[in-house]
Amino acid sequence: MTSVVTGTSTDKLRPKNVFSYLWTEIDARKDSNTIASALQHALKNFDPSKETVRLFADGCGGQNKNANMMAMLAYWLLEESPKHIKQIELIFPIVGHSFIPPDRIFGLIGKDIKKMPVIVEISDYDDLIRKHSTIWKIGIDWDVFDWRTQAKQVIKLPSSWHFEFNKAKRFIFYRKDKNVLVKEYIEVRLLTIIKYYFLVELINFLAKLTSAEPESTDSAKNTEEKENHKTYIDECE
């Protein structure tokens, strides 16, 4: 099972905006092909009014963050998306801060399952999941497409891309002529630069303190006798 939640971060989780894609291990594996196919079905049945579609997902390499998902999104933007859609923004939150709406749905379903003393039929799971979402079943509502094979024919492996794929936290897909281009953003890079800057400033400040020569006794005495003597400490903002 995988879930897709549409709308904004303030929308309530209801069956009209939560979609659960169901299959068993007999039907398909829970790999990047299956997840990408489920998301493609969701995108084809979702008509956003904005020019930018923003997608949030955890950074699981075997399911969400991989070349197969990239190929599917590029194909949808180029061939299947409404004409007013200009770009897709794919965002992977920082590890440990990725409690997104689908996780809440799994939590609610898990609580309902624990309340059931016995579950005999698969349909019992369907009834529980249907309380929180709209159900889409594999082979009936959607099918798995071989994105892995198609991706190998049109794009290089992520290891040979012009940026470090695994470190990227945000990808921007946009049309240019008859192609789709991808930009990457490594959000932690700016934070690292800021930390480095303040570290250098701290080192310089400490160096000035240790290199300053102590004042002579007479000079210190004269300084103390001055009227209206004040001391100021410069603070680094």
- Please give the pLDDT value at position 56: 94
In a domain, 19, yes or no: yes
* Range picked from 31-35, 60-64, 164-168, 202-206 for highest mean pLDDT: 31-35
Is the pLDDT confidence value at 115 over 80?
yes
Outline where 3-156 has alpha helix (H): 32-44, 67-75, 101-115, 122-130, 147-154
CA distance 22 to 35: 11
In a domain, 208, yes or no: no
- For 160, which DSSP code? G
Domain count, the chain: 1
Higher pLDDT among residues 151 and 227, named by residue: 151
In a domain, 199, yes or no: no
In a domain, 236, yes or no: no
Is the pLDDT confidence value at 237 over 70?
no
Q: Tokens for 217?
A: 């006794």
Distances (CA, A) of 170 to 91, 96, 189: 5, 16, 12
- pTM (2 decimals)? 0.76
CA distance 106 to 21: 12
In a domain, 86, yes or no: yes
Instruction: Tally Cβ neighbours within 10 Å of residue 130.
Output: 13
In a domain, 84, yes or no: yes
In a domain, 117, yes or no: yes
141-182 confidence digits (pLDDT tens): 999 999 999 898 888 887 787 778 888 899 999 988 888 988
- Per-residue pLDDT averaged across 96-124, rounded? 89
In a domain, 6, yes or no: yes
Is the pLDDT confidence value at 233 over 50?
no
Domain limits for position 59: 2-189
